[in-house]
């Protein structure tokens, strides 16, 4: 399977190269095709900014799809970086997650098919920040995204939710919509403190909202084997983080940083590079992962 699939992807990358990079190359899919399995719903979250959430959401989603898993990426960040990364340029006529959240559009209408087979996306827009105000006095305001996900989870094997870096009502919606959280952790000073804070937030969601959220695992990002700091942080996280840590580490890679400017995931830009190999390995690891374990907040968060 792998070599013919890889040839197909290379052909697609060539086809995209010959198009204007500003063209919106995402086709609309209405409705998503029926499926019988209930998706594993995973939120990619860390309240710290710039740690690789969107890069992970885009590239993990692309490789899950490449490995044959029907995958949906929900962009739930008003910065809409993941949407832009898949070639969805802002257009006020676009239906986005915001419209579906408030039932202004049926959810099937906001699901777009990307140019990769098996991969759909629900794009976001800046309107989503308005949801924060609109939700304030609404009953069940923490469960709007969950309601949306429940309508479509039987169509997919995996649903990944890309979150912004804040801690607000959108974040709570993103966490309650998911079964599991995958936490990208940049290998830098103070990342352990951030992790401890994050476990406490998840604990609050669990205790105050009665939602049995699990930790899928921590993912070390922008890892550089040659840097002592990267190695030290990785070691400390292994000593102190009480949950699964993915064996796959995402290396610092120029191609990973460049791919979004060409509006595509790494599989369509530099599939032989180390960044692409790491995200493919991560997708395989996630697929073979046992059930995520229940939350533990038992963590020593002294900085490295």
Q: Which residues bind Mg ion (CB under 5 A)?
A: 53-54, 81
Find out whether 116 and 65 touch, Cβ atoms under 8 Å: yes
Q: Does 169 bind ligand ATP (CB under 6 A)?
A: no
**Quick one: 282 exposed, middle or buried, by C-beta within 10 A (0-12, 13-18, 19+)?**
buried
Q: Footprint of ligand ATP on residues 42-61 (CB under 6 A)?
A: 49-55
**Quick one: 262 exposed, middle or buried, by C-beta within 10 A (0-12, 13-18, 19+)?**
middle
Closer to Mg ion by CB, 66 or 80: give it: 80
Residue 249 binds which entry of Mg ion, ligand ATP, none, with Cβ cut-offs from 5 to 8 Å by kind?
Answer: none
Q: How far is the CB of 260 from ligand ATP (least distance, A)?
A: 6
Instruction: Report residue 296 as tokens.
Output: 């533990």
Q: How far is the CB of 58 from Mg ion (least distance, A)?
A: 9
Residue 31 binds which entry of Mg ion, ligand ATP, none, with Cβ cut-offs from 5 to 8 Å by kind?
Answer: none
SS3 content of the chain, % helix, strand, coil (to 5): 45, 15, 40
Q: How far is the CB of 78 from ligand ATP (least distance, A)?
A: 10
Q: Footprint of ligand ATP on residues 233-262 (CB under 6 A)?
A: 250, 252-253, 256-257, 260
Q: Report the distance separating Cα 158 and Cα 167, nearest Å.
A: 24
Token match 């919606």: residue? 173
List of residues contacting ligand ATP (CB under 6 A): 49-55, 77, 79, 81, 164-165, 221-222, 250, 252-253, 256-257, 260, 275
């Amino acid at each position: 399977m792998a070599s013919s699939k890889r040839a197909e992807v290379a052909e697609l990358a060539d086809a995209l190269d010959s198009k204007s990079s500003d063209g919106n190359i995402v086709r609309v899919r209405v409705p998503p095709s029926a499926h019988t399995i209930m998706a594993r719903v995973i939120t990619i979250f860390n309240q710290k900014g710039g740690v690789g959430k969107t890069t992970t959401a885009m590239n993990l989603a692309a490789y899950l799809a490449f490995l044959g898993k029907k995958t949906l990426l929900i962009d739930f960040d008003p910065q809409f970086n993941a949407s832009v990364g898949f070639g969805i340029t802002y257009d006020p006529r676009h239906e986005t997650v915001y419209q579906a959240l408030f039932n202004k559009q049926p959810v099937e209408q906001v699901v777009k098919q990307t140019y990769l087979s098996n991969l759909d996306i629900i794009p976001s827009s800046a309107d989503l920040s308005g949801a924060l105000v609109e939700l304030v006095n609404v009953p069940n305001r923490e469960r709007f995204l969950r309601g949306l996900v429940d309508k479509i989870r039987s169509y997919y094997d995996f649903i990944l939710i890309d979150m912004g870096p804040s801690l607000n009502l959108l974040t709570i919606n993103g966490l309650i919509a998911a079964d599991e959280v995958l936490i990208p952790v940049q290998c830098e000073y103070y990342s352990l403190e951030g992790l401890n804070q994050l476990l406490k937030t998840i604990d609050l969601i669990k205790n105050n909202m009665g939602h049995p959220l699990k930790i899928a695992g921590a993912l070390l990002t922008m890892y550089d084997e040659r840097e002592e700091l990267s190695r030290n942080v990785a070691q400390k996280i292994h000593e102190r983080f009480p949950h699964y840590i993915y064996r796959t580490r995402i290396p610092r890679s120029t191609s990973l940083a460049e791919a979004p400017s060409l509006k595509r995931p790494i599989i369509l830009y530099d599939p032989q590079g180390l960044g692409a190999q790491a995200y493919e390995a991560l997708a395989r690891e996630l697929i073979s992962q046992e059930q995520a374990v229940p939350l533990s907040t038992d963590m020593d968060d002294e900085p490295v």
